[in-house]
Chains A and B, each alone.
Chain A
């Protein structure tokens, strides 16, 4: 029986339901007697709420209830899960984040009231009758403007719109190194604001039962236990055991479905008020103004080198946009998940990073695929490539001169890399991408009147977040372990319950591969259950590419407990010492003999315990495990991209893209490749097509639909050459590192390096839209002519 599935491209078991239309997403759930909620949102970026009158709306056809901020005063604000302590040792400013506006609205889309009716259309119609009197205030939307004198203040407790000023590193030592450097490369840029745009809009359907005073919430969410904990313990004050949160099939998350949102709280609370289920599904236009956005940094970055291009020090000053309120994990993204990654793959001995987080009249900003690490990689890899050009060094060579080669490696920015081989991923990417043939391809492009450029990006990320103690010391208000349960049924079939949550990642397949392989049983004998607080003991959920490294390890620990108990049962049955029993290929065998018992026999014995060591063991075969990692994992890789630019139109075409990643051990290469492809296109989207823009004067969102916000389409991106190198993670039993975010982290720098190379310019704002590229070409012409 061949039952080692590790490393095999097993087809996904979740696919059948998705390709036949049988998936069950939150909006597909219909509860008897359900009502429909429509949220009335602020059309203004900043305004005082003079009054909200609902009497007319209450009389409209089909209306069941209308709730405003006055009705929800007793509900606590939405909490922030990470406390950042500023440079003066003071806690960050945490302004209240009410679920429905209290006295003031602070961004376009801020929820003001909710109308609940028998149909969605009726709720929406009645919303027109809610009379809201706004006193419009001046708004500020840009990070660069938030702290200027005279900028309108959003919150009383932060008059200068500053959430915190935070720093990491030895500033004096860094400044000294810069003073003595042979060369300094400097870049100033904006890391453009993005809107995640999972194709399934957020949705929440809540019901309440007077019979048991219990609630059930179906919600498009990446971490249902965290959602429940935040909602019950911090916001609604409900007993945690009376609330069941189910995150069924979820249509993509990319970070945007990690957070506890106002709508989730309001529909849960309202279901008891009206004693009927309440359903809400965002329209895409609502997603644009209410899903947490990503990125939005303004950065000045400097790299100091000696005459040979050896990095001496890095200095980074970033202003990060928090939006109007602190979303669930907003505060740790531009700090803990950003500054700590600035060593990249290099031995830069001294790094200083200062981050100023500001409030603006925009939708809150939080983790979006990569979360801090794409921004850090952009800083490092744009600096390194620019430095190579300024120093007249080959971009691969300058990287090689600075690669970390000895592990474990302690960076100057808190992290300790356990393992890696950066030369290997770079070398493989140069080979797979045929960089040797680049000069010839450039000549061909030039013959066609096109500009050609090549760009590299050697990224690193910290995944598998995180050792709870470390996270706690850095301000995390949650643990970051994962939980798993193995339930072996009497017939030897297995159900695995995991606190990780899949919303595209294929855990139902990958996790089953791991468990079936360890038990030596057929894959079809193992099922994975996730996304339901009513069935799974606990979970911290899926984000930060943590599922296989943390969730998978928790499952492995539970598997080990099952095997340990199985050995005891087998020893009893075969009348031998436990130490003589080994478990291999699905059998408990007495070492050196042919005496053995199959896994299913042991399972049956555990549940039909006639001949059973009752003095030593309890019946049953069911084990839980919690796993708290001892370190982050450090996936890393090398991307090489070639572009062809049409100088007449500014149109960029990606001609080839090579990605070589080191994710440690790979369980399912097909799924891993898919994750890389998807991440790359999100990264390419940031660099080439996507940007979220607000009007500076009014604070209106200008890119509020899929017509205005340009998500990458099939004809704008290439097919990819992908490869892997494996240096197994040293501190988890599977040797895995995580692969979900790599593409989005590494891609933007590679692409912008290629485009700036093609144009012969130092820098260019993202996205490299035809207009931005064309402008750069014209400016370059003017500069050359002068």
Chain B
């Protein structure tokens, strides 16, 4: 069975006819071809698929596309300004070498933006605790923590 799903992604309307079982992340990656949102696991542990749904960070592998009907979704492709100016969190990740292979990075950045929204000047301890939904196997987190701290000061 298919179902028609309509939502707003990165400020633009997005509609597709999908199987009911289609996950939101599959809709984003396969139907919209926004491949910056990644899939790293099948148990909602790694956080590589983190996006913003109605302003909050959520794991897009953990809900069906049809559950996002009518929602405002922002993906990693949608956080820089239209002229290419990077979001302060993106800039901070680059500045502080907070990424290596880049695979977890979109999810990390999306989580980090939400983290700073909730904790405007987070301590290292808060950052580490709040990042427990995102796995990185490359950086050892050291520089991610630094980047988030630096970005928080600028956001």
Q: How far is the CB of A222 from chain B (nearest CB, A)?
A: 11
Asked whether A21 lies within 8 Å of B36 as measured between CB atoms, the reply is: yes
Task: Determine whether B118 belongs to the interface, using a CB cutoff of 8 Å to chain A.
Answer: no
Q: B124-153 toward A: CB 8 Å interface, digit per residue (1/0)?
A: 110111011011111111111100000000
* Residue in A closest to B47 when the chains form the complex, CB atoms: A199
Judge whether B48 and A199 touch: CB under 8 Å.
yes
Contact with A along B4-45 (1 / 0, CB 8 A): 000000000000000101000000010001111111111101
**CB-defined contacts of A682 to chain B, threshold 8 Å:** 137, 140
Chain A nearest Cβ from B137, distance in angstroms: 5
Q: Could you tell me if B38 and A20 are in contact, using CB atoms closer than 8 angstroms?
A: no
Shortest Cβ distance from A449 into chain B, in angstroms? 20
* Number of A positions contacting B (CB below 8 A): 59
CB of B45 within 8 A of CB of A706, answer yes
Beta-carbon contact of B127 and A504 below 8 Å:
no
Do the beta carbons of A284 and B40 come within 8 Å of each other?
A: yes
Closest chain-A Cβ to B20's Cβ sits at a distance in Å of: 10
Q: A20-B36, A713-B132 are in contact. Are A706 and B46 (CB under 8 A)?
A: yes
A250–B138 alpha-carbon span in the complex (Å): 12
A252 touching B101, Cβ below 8 Å: yes
A21-B35, A121-B19, A249-B102 known; A705 vs B45 contact (CB < 8 Å): yes
Report the separation of the CA atoms of residues A119 and B66 in the bound assembly, to the nearest whole angstrom.
Answer: 19
Report whether A27 and B140 are in contact in the complex, using a CB–CB cutoff of 8 Å.
no
Q: Is the CB of A18 within 8 A of B105?
A: yes
A720 engages B40 (CB within 8 Å):
no
A658-690 interface code vs B (CB 8 A; 1 in, 0 out): 000000000000110111011111100000000
C-alpha gap A249/B138 in the complex (Å) = 14
B42 adjacent to A713 (CB under 8 Å): no
The answer to whether B46 touches A678 (Cβ under 8 A) is: no
Report the stretch among A9-17, A258-266, A347-355, A411-419 that lies at the interface: A9-17
A675 to B138, CA, bound (A): 8
- Asked if B103 and A12 make an inter-chain contact with CB atoms under 8 angstroms apart, the answer reads no
Question: Is A719 part of the contact surface with B, judged by Cβ < 8 Å?
Answer: yes
Report the separation of the CA atoms of residues A363 and B135 in the bound assembly, to the nearest whole angstrom. 23
A28 at the interface (CB under 8 A from B): yes
> Given A14-B102, A17-B102, A28-B35, do A678 and B139 touch, yes or no (CB 8 Å)?
yes
User: Which single member of A18, A707, A743 contacts B99 (CB below 8 Å)?
Assistant: A18
State in angstroms the CA–CA spacing of A24 and B35 once bound together. Answer: 8
- When the two chains form their complex, are residues B97 and A719 in contact, meaning their CB atoms are under 8 A apart? no
- List A contacts of B103 (CB < 8 A): 23, 25, 198-200, 251-252
Question: A199 contacts B93, CB within 8 Å?
Answer: no
Shortest distance between the CB of B110 and any CB in chain A (Å)? 10
Query: A254 CA to B100 CA in the complex, in Å?
Result: 12
CB pair A706–B77 under 8 Å, yes or no, is: no
Whether B40 contacts A681 by the Cβ 8 Å rule is no
Residue A618 is within 8 A (CB to CB) of chain B in the complex: no
Residues of A within 8 Å of B141, CB to CB, are 677, 681, 713-714, 717
The interface residues of chain B lying within 8 Å CB-to-CB of A713 are: 131-132, 135, 141
Chain B residue at smallest Cβ distance from A502: B101
Cross-interface CB contact of B138 among A28, A673, A678, cutoff 8 Å: A678
CB distance from B108 to the nearest CB of A (A): 10
Q: Of B33, B102, B106, B125, which is within 8 A of A504 by CB?
A: B102
Q: Check if A19 is an interface residue, CB within 8 A of chain B.
A: yes
CA A121 to CA B2, docked complex, whole Å: 13
Contact partner, A20, options B40, B45, B76, B128, Cβ 8 Å:
B76
Answer yes or no: B154 CB below 8 A from chain A CBs. no
Q: Number of A-B pairs whose CB atoms are under 8 Å?
A: 174
* Cβ-closest chain A residue relative to B45: A706
Interface residues of A in 18-62 (CB under 8 A from B): 18-25, 27-28, 30
Are B100 and A506 interface neighbours, CB within 8 A? yes
- Inter-chain CA distance A274–B49, complex, in Å, is 32
Find out whether the CB atom of B36 lies under 8 angstroms from the CB atom of A22: yes
Residues of chain A lying within 8 A (CB to CB) of residue B29: 28
How many angstroms between the C-alpha atoms of A285 and B40 in the bound complex? Answer: 10
Closest chain-B Cβ to A507's Cβ sits at a distance in Å of 11
User: When chains A and B are docked, how far (Å) is the Cα of A12 from the Cα of B105?
Assistant: 14
Kindly provide the distance from the CB of B31 to the nearest chain A CB, expressed in whole angstroms.
11
A20-B100 contact, Cβ under 8 Å, with A678-B137, A706-B45, A714-B131: no
B86 within 8 A of A: yes
A503 within 8 A of B: yes
B109 at the interface (CB under 8 A from A): yes
Q: A28-B35, A284-B40, A714-B145 are in contact. Are A23 and B100 (CB under 8 A)?
A: no
**Nearest Cβ on chain A to B8's Cβ, whole angstroms:** 17
B94 touches A19 (CB 8 A): yes
Q: Is the CB of A11 within 8 A of B95?
A: yes
Q: Are B137 and A674 in contact (CB under 8 A)?
A: no
Return the chain B residue nearest A30 by Cβ.
Answer: B33
Q: Is the CB of B97 within 8 A of A671?
A: yes
CA distance A720 to B39 in the complex (A): 29
Q: Once bound together, how far apart are the Cα atoms of A272 and B33, in whole Å?
A: 26
B70 vs chain A, min Cβ distance (A): 23
A284 and B93: CB pair below 8 A?
no
Question: Distance in Å from the Cβ of A148 to the closest Cβ of chain B?
Answer: 35
Contact, CB under 8 Å: A705 / B43 = yes
Contacts of B46 in A (CB 8 A): 199, 284, 706
Question: Complex Cα distance A19/B108, Å?
Answer: 10
A705 partner residues in chain B, CB cutoff 8 A: 41-43, 45
**B76 lies within 8 A of A707 (CB):** no
Q: Please give, as numbers and ranges, the residues of chain B lying within 8 Å of A197 by CB-CB distance.
A: 137
What is the distance, in angstroms, from A344's C-beta to the closest C-beta of chain B?
A: 24
Determine which of A200, A506, A677 lies in contact with B40 in the assembled complex, contact meaning CB atoms within 8 Å: A200
In the complex, chain A residues whose CB is within 8 Å of the CB of B132: 713-715
Within A249-306, which residues are at the interface with B (CB < 8 Å)? 249-252, 254, 281, 283-285
Determine the distance from Cα of A675 to Cα of B143 in the docked complex, in whole angstroms.
11
Chain A contacts for B34, CB-based, 8 A? 21
Question: How far is A158 from B143 in the complex, measured between Cα atoms in Å?
Answer: 48
CA distance A719 to B145 in the complex (A): 9
Set of chain A residues within 8 Å of B57, measured between Cβ atoms: none
Known: A22-B36, A28-B35, A720-B142. A706 touches B41 (CB 8 A): yes
Interface status of A752 (Cβ within 8 A of chain B): no
Hey, which chain B residues are within 8 Å of A119, CB to CB?
19
Q: Apart from A21-B77, A199-B103, A719-B145, what are 5 other A-B pairs with CB-CB below 8 Å?
A: A250-B101, A252-B103, A254-B137, A674-B138, A713-B131
Residues of B within 8 A of A (CB): 19, 21, 29, 33-43, 45-46, 48, 75-77, 80, 86, 90, 93-95, 97, 99-106, 109, 124-125, 127-129, 131-132, 134-145
In the A-B complex, the 9 residue pairs with the smallest Cβ-Cβ separation, listed nearest first, are A21-B36, A18-B102, A251-B103, A504-B101, A504-B100, A681-B140, A677-B140, A706-B45, A21-B76
27 intermolecular pairs with C-beta atoms under 8 Å apart: A11-B94, A15-B94, A15-B99, A15-B102, A16-B94, A19-B102, A21-B34, A22-B36, A27-B35, A27-B39, A199-B104, A199-B135, A199-B138, A200-B40, A249-B101, A251-B104, A285-B42, A504-B100, A504-B138, A671-B97, A674-B138, A677-B140, A677-B141, A681-B139, A711-B137, A714-B127, A720-B142
Task: Name A residues whose Cβ lies closer than 8 Å to a Cβ of B.
Answer: 11-12, 14-25, 27-28, 30, 119, 121, 197-201, 249-252, 254, 281, 283-285, 503-506, 670-671, 673-675, 677-682, 705-707, 711, 713-715, 717, 719-720, 743
